[in-house]
Copies of this chain bind each other. A is one copy, B any other.
């Protein structure tokens, strides 16, 4: 009765009078097993408080029970929401979450990830944008034999490997809302070049303007890269235009917050003099004054779904609950948008 250390599969086998292998079968609920013995072994397992040793399983199975989160992301809140979603999915399972930031720019990025995956023999990884948009990365996972699910702003992969939001349509609707309110001079602050989300959102903006036959002048589009500072700079340029835009739609909330900052600096009243729209619905969006009208996408749910897809066919029952692959964003109307005064 060595109470000091935890019980092993041998203890269970010994007590229940069966072989290791039978216990192993119970653990991995193999179908071919006498129900009597199964129940008996399960009882002993419960009595002894036996839990399989993850290290030993990892060694034998050549596969760790770890879910990796690979990201290279400028947005802290997004990363944390994704972690929350994944953690919800693996709660009460044997899985754990390993966080792995990578450097998207670095030439060694792919090799870094390869080493990480091969060494740790992860069960699977969730890929966050913008690295998730890198097809070579997905291919690498395939080669190594590591499951993966990509998160993104558009469908980049099979349903099995993808969880996407409909950024384009969401921005189209939000822009339509501005148009319905009477805005005609609407400016756009774009996200960084090369980001799929930046492209999708921009396209949605153009969709709405095109449908309303509102021409989009080059001067009404400013470059940004999703940061507060670029939002301020872009807004300063746009607010110098004459006539001034009556609304500015920034491709994310952080830049929209910068627009608000710039507007206040030059004494403009929001939303009377200028309407502002953002995208993300970060916590800050509702905490600033005026609270920001923005687009909310269900990032926690998406991350949870991504993790569930990874775990599909693992759990006890094996109930094939198919997770959705497309998630809809919704417009959150707050006080930063009003009808233009013109």
A residues in contact (CB < 8 Å) with B = 6, 51, 53-56, 58-59, 62, 64, 66, 76-77, 79-81, 83-84, 87, 96-101, 115, 118-121, 228, 254, 257-258, 260-261, 264-265, 283-284, 286-289
Tell me the smallest distance from the CB of A14 to a CB of chain B, in Å: 21
Residues of chain B contacted by A257 (CB below 8 angstroms): 287-288
Docked pose: A101 CA to B119 CA in angstroms: 25
Docked pose: A264 CA to B53 CA in angstroms: 57
The answer to whether A55 and B64 touch (CB under 8 A), given A87-B101, A99-B83, A287-B228, is yes
The secondary-structure label for the interface of chain A is helix
Residues of chain B contacted by A254 (CB below 8 angstroms): 287
Which chain B residue has the least Cβ–Cβ distance from A116?
B96
Do B99 and A87 have beta carbons less than 8 Å apart? yes
Do A6 and B118 have beta carbons less than 8 Å apart? yes
Do B59 and A55 have beta carbons less than 8 Å apart? yes
Do A99 and B97 have beta carbons less than 8 Å apart? yes
Docked pose: A20 CA to B96 CA in angstroms: 32
The one of B120, B265, B283 that contacts A54, using a Cβ cutoff of 8 Å: B120
The one of B76, B81, B264, B289 that contacts A77, using a Cβ cutoff of 8 Å: B76
Residues of chain B contacted by A54 (CB below 8 angstroms): 119-120
**Listed A/B pairs (19) with beta-carbon separation below 8 Å:** A53-B59, A54-B119, A55-B55, A55-B64, A55-B121, A58-B58, A59-B59, A76-B76, A76-B80, A79-B80, A83-B99, A87-B99, A97-B99, A98-B99, A99-B99, A228-B283, A261-B287, A265-B289, A289-B289
17 additional contacts, CB 8 Å, given A80-B80, A97-B100, A287-B288?
A: A51-B115, A53-B59, A54-B120, A55-B55, A55-B62, A59-B59, A76-B76, A76-B77, A76-B81, A77-B77, A97-B98, A98-B98, A257-B288, A261-B288, A264-B289, A288-B288, A288-B289
